[in-house]
Amino acid sequence: MTHFTGKSDSARILVVDDEEMVREVLVEFLVAQGYRVDTAPGGTEALNLVEANPYDLILTDIRMPDKNGMAVLEGVRKKLTNTAVILMTGHSELDTAIEAMRMGAYDYISKPFNLDSLQVSVDRALEKVNLTRLNREYQNTLEHKVMEQSELIRSMFTDVVSSLTTAIEAKDQYTSGHSSRVTQLSEWLAGRLDLSREMKQNIVTAAQLHDIGKLGIVDRILNKPGKLTDEEYDLVKQHPLTSVRILEPIIHQPTLGFVRNHHERWDGRGYPDGLAGDQVPIGGRIIAVADAFDAMTSTRAYRPSMGWDKAIAEIERCSGTQFDPDLAAAFLPITEKDLGWE
């Protein structure tokens, strides 16, 4: 290989031909245009150079003793996605050259070639390479800006979630911290399952907001020390649907479905949709366990805390009726130490 150095910021070209005279003519012509030029006498050496150098353009003969121009083209396409290839061909090889175009070659020129025609082909090929590079840089910049905006939106969304959670808990002195505890419990249970990172995050978000619909329930019902009337209980059972109406402008599926269905039961006797078994979205089933467990281990206006051990026993007792049996089994080993609550 011989190096012919042009300007450091000029295009880099590899000339591949088994005829030394052809290589010399092309080198002299291209260097005069200010390009940086490397040469190779055959396909094998050319592909070795391609492994180590990011060429902008490769000019290669089709017919060579070792690996031919088609092999060079195939190797370049695998290694360098934004490198133009121009094939040099005799008249008897036109069909091969046309096939090479189908494989991704930029152009072909016939031997003996006219240097003016070669100049046009080289200029156009390098222009395409440059435009492709600029477009890629633009796309990378755009993606970076989108990521920055996404992070900003996520941060704002987190603030909104925090504010809404605070608003819920301010309505009911007995449920202060409930949403955060249900979130921790849901996250712990989801972490024991083979779920994607995105799914786990959706479940966490739904757990944080699962009771937002209680903003629509009057305080005297939420804080009532005695048993609710049928009419009052019907109002409370509307809170999952109210939650969905509040959250629709800012969150989407499947998170909305998890919020809507966190009071469904495995046996189909829950609300608001009466779904059963696997019809209940996985996030809804997880939050159902977490929500019930926190309710049982917390003091409410109408009863004292059941205690950790009794609540564990109740989850086990209701496995297969109120709760997904697989999720109940996954939840049962939980201890206060697992959550850092000791």
CATH code of the domain covering residue 332: 1.10.3210.10
Q: Are 117 and 249 members of one domain?
A: no
Residues 6+ apart with CB under 8 A from 303: none
Instruction: Look up tokens 């133009």; give the residue.
Output: 84
Residue 152 lies in a domain: no
**pLDDT tens, 305-325?**
889 999 999 999 999 999 999
What domain count does the chain have? 2
Domain assignment of residue 47, given as a range:
3-140
Q: Are 198 and 331 members of one domain?
A: yes
Q: Are 42 and 134 members of one domain?
A: yes
62 closest CA partner among 114, 1, 16, 125 = 16
Q: Can you tell me the distance from the alpha carbon of 220 to that of 214, in angstroms, rounded to the nearest whole number? A: 12
Q: Are 89 and 217 members of one domain?
A: no
Q: Are 218 and 290 members of one domain?
A: yes
Q: Are 133 and 221 members of one domain?
A: no
Indicate left, alpha or beta for 57 from its phi (over 0: left) and psi (-120 to 50: alpha).
beta
Residue 188 lies in a domain: yes
Q: Are 77 and 15 members of one domain?
A: yes
Look up the pTM and report it. Answer: 0.57
Q: Are 133 and 176 members of one domain?
A: no
**pLDDT tens, 96-145?**
777 888 888 888 888 888 888 889 989 999 998 888 888 888 888 888 88
Residue 74 lies in a domain: yes
**pLDDT tens, 7-23?**
556 899 999 999 999 99
Residue 212 lies in a domain: yes
Highest mean pLDDT among 74-78, 230-234, 246-250, 256-260: 256-260
Asked if 62 and 96 count as a contact pair (C-beta separation under 8 A), the reply is yes
Q: Are 97 and 176 members of one domain?
A: no
Q: Which of the two residues, 39 and 144, has the higher pLDDT score?
A: 39
Q: How confident is the model at residue 272 (pLDDT cuts 50, 70, 90)?
A: very high
How many CB atoms sit inside 10 A of residue 73's CB? 22
Q: How confident is the model at residue 238 (pLDDT cuts 50, 70, 90)?
A: very high
